[in-house]
Structure 1
Amino acid sequence: MVYILGVSFPERQLVSKSLLSFFGVGPSVCARLMARHNVHPTARIGDLANKQVLDITSALSNMKIENDLRREILDNIRRLKDTGTYRGRRHALNLPVRGQRTRTQTKTAIKLNAIERRL
C-alpha cells in the first residue's frame, strides 16, 4: 500500500487512476503532474520511487483539492446569493444557472441545485 495525502492505494493501481480519485484533479492536471515528475502514463503505484511519491504528494498538497476546493465552491455560491446577483438568485431558486431553457427540461437542474452542497 502506498499513501498519497493520507489515502492508501494498492500497488497494482495505475498512478493516473489514483490521482484522478482526488476531487479537483482532472485528466489534464493528472497528465501535467505525471509529466512534471517523469511518471509514465501506464505506470503503477508500486513502480514509483519514494522520491516520486513524495514529490507528487507535495505537489498535491500545494494545490487546492478535496475539502478546500469544495469549501471554495460553496463560498462562491454563497457570495453570489448574498450579493443578490442573477446567478445567485438562480441558485437560490434551484433553477438552471447558465442560461439553459426552463420551459421544459429543467428537472435535472432542479434536482442538482436543490441539494445543499456539503463538504
Structure 2
Amino acid sequence: MVFILGVNFQSAMPVKRALQCFYALGPTTADRIMAKYSIFNLAKVGSLPAKTVTALTAELSQMTIENDAKRLLHENLKRLKDMGSYRGRRHAMGLPARGQRTRNQIFSARKLNRLDRRG
C-alpha cells in the first residue's frame, strides 16, 4: 500500500491510473506529471521510490483537485444561474447547455418541481 496525497493505493496499480483517480486530473495531466518526474508509462505505484512519492504528493497538493475543483465548478454554475444567462437556465433545468438536440428528453412533473429554476 502506497499513500499519495493521503489516498491509499494498491501496490500493483499503474501510476497513471492512480493519478487519474483524483477528481479533475485526466489522462493528459497525468502524462505531464509522469513525464516531469521521469516515470515510465507502465510503472506500478509500488515500484516508485519514496522520494518520488513525496515529490508527487507535493506536486498534487499545489494543484486544484478534488474538493477545490468541485467547489470552483459549483461556484461557476451558481454564477451562471444567478446572472440568469441561457447556460445557467439550461443547467438549472437539467438540459444540455451546449447545443445538443433535446428530442428524446422527456419531462415529468416530478423533475420540474425539484429544480431550482430562474426564469
Q: CA offsets per residue over residues 9-32 of structure 1, 9 Å max, x none? A: 111111111111111110000000
Secondary structure of the corresponding residue to residue 12 of structure 2: coil
Rate the CA distance shift 1:4–1:115 in 2: closer, same or farther, 3 A.
farther
Equivalent residue for 2:75? Answer: 75
The equivalences for 1:1-119 within 5 A come to 1-102=1-102, 104-106=103-105
2:20 and 2:115 map into 1 onto residues whose CA distance is 24
Q: Distance in 2 between matches of 1:71 and 1:19?
A: 20
**One-letter amino acid of the counterpart of residue 39, structure 1:** I
1:106 positional shift: 3.0
Q: Could you tell me the TM-score, scaled by structure 2's length?
A: 0.85
How far, CA to CA, are the matches of 2:94 and 2:25 in structure 1? Answer: 27
**Structure with the greater alpha carbon radius of gyration:** 2
Between the aligned partners of 2:20 and 2:98, the Cα distance in structure 1 is 26
CA deviations on 1:79-115 (whole Å, 9 max, x unpaired) are 000011111111122211001122x1335xxx9xx89
Identity of counterpart residues, as a percentage? 45
Q: CA deviation at 1:69?
A: 0.5
Q: Structure 1: which 4+ aligned runs deviate by more than 6 Å? A: none
Pick closer, same or farther for the CA change 1:36–1:96 going to 2, 3 Å: same
> Contact between 1:96 and 1:106, CA under 8 Å: does it hold in 2?
no
Unaligned runs of 5+ in 1: none
**Given residue 43 of structure 1, which amino acid in structure 2 is its aligned partner?**
A
What TM-score do you get using the length of structure 1 for normalisation? 0.85
CA distance in 2, matches of 1:115, 1:54: 44
